Structure 1
Amino acid sequence: MKKKHLLIMIILFSIALAACSKKEEPKFTFNDKSITLEIGDEFRLEYELTKGFKVEFDLDNNDVITLEDGVVKALNSGSVTITGTVEGYDVQDTIEIIISEGETELYVSGTKTFYAEDLVNIATKMDNLEFKDNKLVLVNKDISATYESTPIEFNEFEELVLTWNATTNDGTATTFRLAIGDGNNFSIDFIMGYYQNNNLRSIGSQSDNFASVSIDTLINKDTTNNKYVIIKFVVIASENNVTEIKNISVTSKQVNTSIVIDYSLLFDKTIAVPPKQQLAIPAIGNLICSPTSLSMVIDYYGYETDVVTVANAVSDKGARGIFGNWTLNASYAGSFDNITSRVEYINEFSQLVDYIKNDIPVILSIRTTSKEQLEGTIMAYASGHLLVLSGFKERDGKWYAVVNDPAEHVDENVIREYPIEQLMNVWRNYTYILSDAIL
């Protein structure tokens, strides 16, 4: 009996000893999830760790910082995720370090394209994103990503239009957003576009006390005070997400601006943009001036696009399938390799001339109420129309704009000449600018 009791005591003692010797599960968390530094800054990593344990650090990008004895030194612009792992345990946490140059322009007069590196430099939030190969890409392709810029000051503006140049895969969606305000108080996040392959769309009516959005245009309700803009986007989680953001552009219609023609700047030149007509295309021919103009200019840069394919790609699924959403058209062009594109509101005649001088054709948005407003057109365009400005020509002492006007039934009749002053009078100042160089 005594032996039996002794055996039980030994077993109980062994169990107690094993329980006492069981490894304690450590706790480890960084104090910050994301911080932004400027080149040359130093920062000591701060974290909570159970006493008696050690942490090992791993970097997913060795080009932008050094890490020694827990001190980060910023070397180059970009982003890096640091993963801390408790030695001997599967206990981890991460912190994202964003490195900016500290010199990015934060005042915009007119139009500004923020390339991926610029977006890093002005970021206040960049979750699950990193700068790689001149693009913003996802760190973990299976979870969502969010971006938010610092407030950017604009010259007084009445309207804003957003453009993005990005690529993605089927099933992945990104929403691009703007907020405006006075620098202290800001509007709701206005969704300026929903980006998904074969499912581009605007969002329905959006409005608050700061602004409202109509299809592709944000309308400022207080031009005196609302001068600050925050750029945002959210990449929605999907399996094996391969979204890549090349750049984001914002253009503004400034207060009290008008175009004055300076004839001394004009010169004889025509850019060889391949002509394409729209009206002979069945069912949608009278609706697709925008994608037809876009197709012409994309092909000018060496591609071979089909007008119907382009039209289907830019169709706004959120607005009854319209084909003329400026944001969706210009953003689609930017998905092509080696093309940078944006919507641009042009305030100066010299800017228009400079684009032609530099072999950049310009897609113009016009509106007419009668054929007489633009001699040579086959109809009036009360709802608006888009065509391609490809050059200038002087004839008998009078200057003409050389255009590819898609409102025709045969390609041979697309290239036309309109009196320059008439074209400028019906032009709405909005353009699509496509280039094979940095804008």
Structure 2
Amino acid sequence: MSTNAAAPGNTETFDVVVIGGGAAGIGVTASLLRRRPDLRIAIVEPAERHYYQPAWTLVGGGAFNIDDTVRPMSSVMPGHAHWIKASASAIEPGQHTVRLDDGRSIGYRRLIVCPGLRLAWDRIEGLEATLGRNGVTSNYRFDLAPYTWQLVRELKGGKALFTQPGMPIKCAGAPQKALYLSCDYWRTQRVLDQIDVEFNLAGDVLFGVAAFVPSLMKYVERYRTSLAFGSNLVSVDGARKVATFAVKDANGSVARVEKPFDMLHVVPPQVPPALVSESVLADQAGWCEVDHATLAHPRVPDVFALGDACSAPNAKTAAAVRKQIVVVADNLLASLDGKPLPARYDGYGACPLTVEKGKVVLAEFGYGGKLLPTFPLNPTVPRASAWHLKASFLPWLYWNGLLKGREWLTASTAQPAKPANQAKLSA
């Protein structure tokens, strides 16, 4: 494994350059090398650590050890890949090159864009100054998930606010997972009656796939949670313990409303990275444009994308990446061989909704909200078996399957490619 694939001032060309060493980048590289070990693949990734982010909601609920969610990047990097420890600063499709922040450039025959998205903490005034103190936390950050659990354990009464920004976001069920696990703990400690719980959602639905809403509403009612739709967090005053929301009424008018809190769980706005949004690869919303079925760029055919940064209207989850990896690997190799692209992505994503400690609603769905359950059970029913899947099996599958190129349970139900502009799904 090389970390110095190209010397300053020179351009070395690889068969495949992968931008990003997250789940998508590591997973697709491992899958490509299992298919064709002689490929020269470079992964551009500056980070020294790799995280299993889906468990952070469990950490915030006291059901998972934060130390088990992180490993050295070197331990997950595919052995035959060239690891370039730098950040990509620009993509130049016309020259088939990627410019790096250290002044180097690298060339490619095929490019895979999967740098993830950006958590835009800065778009909420005052938030960054108070994160991790004054009762303000978020399970969307490694160092803050344990603080969530600390706040949950310590709160015996008062006001608890939970937020969800506008879509798209990573794992759109995660904001309410934090809510449910917190409330379940307060219920077991017999303090829930002393806590006023409110869930502020920028959108107008609890969950974007209607089939799961009735099951979730039973827990909202069980925990006596107030739902505030059209309520978007815009600023936080940690010292005063006051959160300000832009609240939209039925007529579309927006007013600013201050809400005091004792605990505030924040989910930040999430946006495409500038590397993508400022490139010619971006769609109108700033995401890397792809054909929703083949995951190839419709205007630049030697570019593929997957994961959170791509424009496919699926739920942005690790489960979606697991299916996308196979599609990109098959189609990229066919492209190199000058053959038609054979694989199709059906929009599959999964969101194991932890509605209480020990039970999960295993929401699996694809484009248009079509239910795509893996198991022959009613997917809307909370189950203990789904909890064990979420808390035990899926972390193991991530480290030992997805990141190793082992494509278990990854068959797609998609039919031949449809036009790229399919109906979008917000979940």
Q: Which has the higher helix share?
A: 2
Mark yes or no: TM-score above 0.5.
Answer: no
Higher strand share: 1
Bigger radius of gyration? 1
Normalising by the smaller structure, the TM-score range is under 0.3
Higher relative contact order (Cα pairs below 8 Å, separated by 6+ residues)? 2
